[in-house]
Structure 1
Amino acid sequence: MTQRLPPSLTPLDVALAALLQGVDPLAPVELPLAEAAGCIAAGISSLAAYPRHNIAAADGWALRANDLVGASSYSPLLLTDAPAWVEAGEAMPAGCDCVLDADAVEMSGPLMQVLTEGVPGQGVTRAGSDIGERTSIELEGRPVTAATLLLARVAGVEQLSVRRPRLRLVNVPGATATAHLIAEIARAAGLDVEMHEAGTRAAASIAEALDHSACDLVVTIGGSGVGRHDAAVIALAERGEVLAHGLALQPGRTAAVARLGRVPAVALPGSPDHALAAWFALVLPLADRLSARQPRRQITLPLSRKIASSVGIAEIVLLAEEHKTWRPLAVGEWPLQAIARSDAWLLIPGNHEGFAAGEPADAYLMRE
């Protein structure tokens, strides 16, 4: 049986609403820091003060600033006791409040003399200066970044509470390059990705790979068109319910949304540009709902030239930032080189006729 598109395409907002219906945020899980990177945080973390005591910020001699008043190369201060040498990161000796460079202290036989004054706090990182006592990091709904992990590590936190949707990615033979693209951007978005490949392009083989028992969403790659060997949507219908196939979306017209039991599913086309557009329009909102992510940040810049759009079709435009404007790179069909060069993407709703040159446009960054 050959799958066919309906005579009229489903509006993007209708398909997305059907896909998101009944989808709630996942329960948080505790993950080690190394696994939490990129995931969406599920709470507020309280951190202990760091550093816990004054430490040297540089290698040098630990001294007390008040003892060095008047010291200079013309009037060296003779030391009665040898100062302590500290390395960066080491605890400051009791009574010392500054660190002088190595050449600020001169050794002449058994005698040591200081050639410069010091200032309290010079070369010292004070206790609690990096992280104050009982500091809270308000991460709820935000991606865990490298900077977040740095704070957690130095404060001694070993795990973070996050929401990480489990994605079962099913590659239909013939779309391997696209499947790897989607897997990579899914992992970057904080999803836990399990990649599987159907044995053949036949509906029965694809359906066999649609095991949704241990995942939160299913995405198929390829086989969603109307070719003789396209059977992904037929397979979704065999295992569950197809909510819409054939969307008023360009690129991405042959994408489909479905439900396998309670698990939402999206069939992405095998072409990289159509798959990526449907990922932006359908899967990202779904992943954001599951992970309770805060709204994605948009960057507003004027367009360097006009963008015309067909009413009734939602279109996604690739943009490059150029001289503080958005320059359209591709509309409708996306050459692969345009995908590689793009900085952002812009969704033009189906009821919108486009944008005039110079008009501000709110775009999402390709890489956050």
Structure 2
Amino acid sequence: MVTTQRLPASLTPLDAALAAVLRDLAPVQPIELPPVDALRCIAAEMPALRAYPPHDVAVGDGWAMRANDLVGASSYAPLPLAGLPVWVEAGAAMPDGTDCVVDADAVDASGPLPQVLAEAVPGQGVRRAGSDIAAGRTVIAAGEPLLPRGLLLARAAGLDLVRVRRPRLRIVNISKGGLAVQLIADTARLAGAEVVRLKAGPDIVTIANSLDTGGCDLIITIGGTGVGHTDAAVNALARRGALIAHGIALQPGRTTAIGRIYTTPVIALPGAPDQAFAAWWAIALPVLDRLSGRRPRTTLALPLERKIASGVGIAEVVLLTRKQDHWAVLAIGDLSLDAIARAEALLIVPGGAEGFAAGTLVDAYMLRE
């Protein structure tokens, strides 16, 4: 007979649960990916880049010349030339002995001898070697997400492959709805994970069989963490591996569970979108960031527009938006889908705090990087 799933008499503090699931967890080994596949992955240590451009190039179309040869030239005192200078297109390498590009109408070729009608300065119309990328620069610091700007440098430097850390995440859908699953999958991809999704039936055997650690670094289950008659995700985790904690002092998301199967962390998220979102940010995302070797996430310190009241003993998730250089509260504890979509930042009030007074400067995690 299968034991009915139950929450323990006391909830595990959030900081204790997070410390337990992070214990002995190390970043995954770097892999090499082409830039097209590396977007939002977390950069590993990369070799120094070569200078770009590798040589002086023309910024625009025009005549390549040497500035010192044009001293005194003007429309009133044209400077005759022995022959036409070299014409260069934008992006072309500058010919040897030239250091500037003058406009097409600065050279008059209508007479027997071409004439220059304007002076120039060294470097005019020229992009110097190494001016875009200095020799020895890295694409991006290790631990930072690779965004289009960083990949621009990689492509410009001619890198066919970049070194990244991309944890493999398996999401097991046990919930009746798909909103939470899609939300977490999309958020995980934005965090640089390689995501594989599975669907599992609600019975304990099917769920346990789906918790396969092969080819993944983190397992997330969604749904089935409560105490309903068909909830069995936590019992399945206990059967397959080691259950560390069930029932986290977190609002929303108190039915979240954490465990391990061998060395692979498993986080069981509730099926409701707001609870899954809160537990993802409070527990699952820090685990994914540890596996990615990611540097601490961006925060922004602003004073609170109004007081935040919170119950002692329960960490509460607060959604915030900026309002005239203050944080305005959109939702606390009870998170609507509209508030989740509109929020610019997220704050977790520690379980030991009663909240924050109006005007308190608080560091909130940015939801929009």
Could you tell me whether the CA contact under 8 Å between 2:301 and 2:364 is conserved in 1? yes
Matches within 5 A, 1:139-218: 139-198=141-200, 200-218=201-219
Q: Which whole-Å CA distance do the structure 1 matches of 2:321 and 2:128 have between them?
A: 44
| SS of equivalent residue, structure 2 residue 294 | coil
| SS of equivalent residue, structure 2 residue 221 | strand
Could you tell me whether the CA contact under 8 Å between 2:13 and 2:248 is conserved in 1? yes
TM-score, length basis structure 1 = 0.94
Instruction: Name which of structure 1's ranges 278-287 and 25-34 shifts more when overlaid on structure 2.
Output: 25-34
Q: Which whole-Å CA distance do the structure 1 matches of 2:217 and 2:23 have between them?
A: 14
**In the alignment, residue 351 of structure 1 is paired with which amino acid?**
G
Deviation at 1:138, TM superposition (A): 5.9
In the alignment, does 2:215 pair up with 1:230?
A: no
**In the alignment, residue 17 of structure 2 is paired with which amino acid?**
A
Q: 1:240 to 1:69 in 2, by over 3 A?
A: same
Hey, what does 2:19 align to over in structure 1?
Answer: 17
Q: Which whole-Å CA distance do the structure 1 matches of 2:58 and 2:340 have between them?
A: 48
**In the alignment, residue 165 of structure 1 is paired with which amino acid?**
P
Could you tell me whether the CA contact under 8 Å between 1:16 and 1:282 is conserved in 2? yes
Deviation at 1:182, TM superposition (A): 0.7
Q: Which whole-Å CA distance do the structure 1 matches of 2:24 and 2:135 have between them?
A: 41
**In the alignment, residue 259 of structure 1 is paired with which amino acid?**
R
Matches within 5 A, 1:1-368: 1-108=3-110, 112-137=114-139, 139-198=141-200, 200-368=201-369
Q: Which whole-Å CA distance do the structure 2 matches of 1:191 and 1:54 have between them?
A: 40
| SS of equivalent residue, structure 1 residue 89 | coil
Deviation at 1:148, TM superposition (A): 2.0
Equivalent pairs: percent with the same residue? 57
Q: Which whole-Å CA distance do the structure 2 matches of 1:44 and 1:325 have between them?
A: 39
**In the alignment, residue 19 of structure 2 is paired with which amino acid?**
A
| SS of equivalent residue, structure 1 residue 8 | coil
Q: Which whole-Å CA distance do the structure 1 matches of 2:336 and 2:112 have between them?
A: 75
**In the alignment, residue 140 of structure 1 is paired with which amino acid?**
A
Q: Which whole-Å CA distance do the structure 1 matches of 2:111 and 2:239 have between them?
A: 90
Instruction: Name which of structure 1's ranges 271-280 and 35-44 shifts more when overlaid on structure 2.
Output: 35-44
Could you tell me whether the CA contact under 8 Å between 2:33 and 2:163 is conserved in 1? yes
| SS of equivalent residue, structure 1 residue 182 | helix
Q: 1:2 to 1:74 in 2, by over 3 A?
A: farther
Q: Which whole-Å CA distance do the structure 1 matches of 2:109 and 2:309 have between them?
A: 77
Could you tell me whether the CA contact under 8 Å between 1:45 and 1:139 is conserved in 2? no
Instruction: Name which of structure 1's ranges 229-238 and 358-367 shifts more when overlaid on structure 2.
Output: 229-238
**In the alignment, residue 181 of structure 2 is paired with which amino acid?**
A
Deviation at 1:54, TM superposition (A): 0.6
| SS of equivalent residue, structure 2 residue 47 | strand
Q: Which whole-Å CA distance do the structure 1 matches of 2:306 and 2:142 have between them?
A: 38
**In the alignment, residue 86 of structure 2 is paired with which amino acid?**
A
Q: Residues 254-300 of structure 1: CA distance to partner in whole angstroms, max 9, x if unpaired?
A: 11111112211001111111111101111111112222222222211
Deviation at 1:232, TM superposition (A): 1.4
Deviation at 1:342, TM superposition (A): 0.8
Query: Higher strand proportion, which one?
Result: 1
Deviation at 1:136, TM superposition (A): 4.0
Deviation at 1:85, TM superposition (A): 2.0
Q: Residues 311-336 of structure 1: CA distance to partner in whole angstroms, max 9, x if unpaired?
A: 10001111111211111111011111
Q: Residues 14-42 of structure 1: CA distance to partner in whole angstroms, max 9, x if unpaired?
A: 11122112212222222222222222222
Deviation at 1:69, TM superposition (A): 1.6
Gaps of 5+ in 1: none
Gaps of 5+ in 2: none
| SS of equivalent residue, structure 1 residue 196 | strand
Could you tell me whether the CA contact under 8 Å between 2:204 and 2:233 is conserved in 1? yes
Q: Which whole-Å CA distance do the structure 2 matches of 1:110 and 1:178 have between them?
A: 78
**In the alignment, residue 16 of structure 1 is paired with which amino acid?**
L
What number of residue pairs does the alignment pair up?
367
**In the alignment, residue 121 of structure 2 is paired with which amino acid?**
V
| SS of equivalent residue, structure 2 residue 278 | helix
Deviation at 1:173, TM superposition (A): 4.2
Could you tell me whether the CA contact under 8 Å between 2:5 and 2:226 is conserved in 1? yes
